[in-house]
Amino acid sequence: MGVSDKAGSSNGADRNAAQNKAPDGKKGRKQRTGVLGRALRTIYDDTLRESVPDDFMNLLGKLS
């Protein structure tokens, strides 16, 4: 009887722990998404500021 009592209380504790972690998990995911989004925007902006290589400009000039 003691074993089933321990198992029952342990499962309840596990459920409570999982429920308590759910909101933090979503908050953490949103924070990571925000960090990732800022990193991608930074890389994109840096790429836009790069100059176009001369060889590529020459190829584009031949098209017109």
Q: Residue with structure tokens 């596990």?
A: 14
Quick one: DSSP state of residue 1? -
pLDDT score, position 40: 97
pLDDT in tens, the chain (64 residues): 444 444 444 555 555 555 555 456 778 888 889 999 999 999 999 999 999 999 999 999 999 7
- Domain assignments of the chain as residue spans, ordered by start: 2-63
Provide the pLDDT for residue 31. Answer: 87
Closest CA to 52 of 44, 60, 40: 60
What is the reported pLDDT for 4?
Answer: 46
Tell me the HSE value of 29 on the side-chain side, using a 13 A CA sphere: 6
